[in-house]
Amino acid sequence: MESFRYPLFVVLGIYFVAHTGGCGGPKGPQRYDLSGTVTYNGKPVPAGHLTFAPDKAKGNSGPGASANIENGRYQTMPGQGPVCGSHVVTISGFDGVPKGMNMMGTRLFEPVRISVDLPKQNGTSDFEVPAAGERK
């Protein structure tokens, strides 16, 4: 019985690799690396998070992307950035002073949504959070 396990294991391994993109299957839509700055009241946002969601209302689709904000800067993971076209970017910002379990600290403003159009290339996009996003 032992002699049958090894060949079955090899066959299943090859099948798994072939069907999970390991053998040149489709990679999905082109994604672009994106970086930039995030400011609030003219100052860099110390900590936070951005999400890039394709704007379906404007006909854009594909995977979303995200990035952490550190000292006013963000950068998407290589090959994991947004697709091109219209996006809704959601920005959350914090003071960067850890408090208890919250490593990002106190929220500086309520999450803000900004519409942007991203080009078909790697690049930069800077964001200024409007004062209306101020926490009350």
Q: Give the tens place of pLDDT for each residue, 55-114.
A: 999 999 999 999 999 999 999 999 999 999 999 999 999 999 999 888 999 999 999 999
Predicted local distance difference test score (pLDDT) of residue 130: 86
Q: Which band of pLDDT confidence, cut at 50, 70 and 90, is reported for residue 8?
A: very low
Please state which CATH number belongs to domain 34-131.
2.60.40
pLDDT of residue 26: 58
Helix (H, G, I), strand (E, B) or coil at 116: strand
Pure H helices in the chain: 2-19
Please write the tens of the pLDDT for every residue from 9-54. 443 444 443 443 333 335 789 999 999 999 999 999 999 999 999 9
Show me where the domains of the chain are located.
34-131
With a cut of 70, say whether residue 3 has pLDDT above it. Answer: no
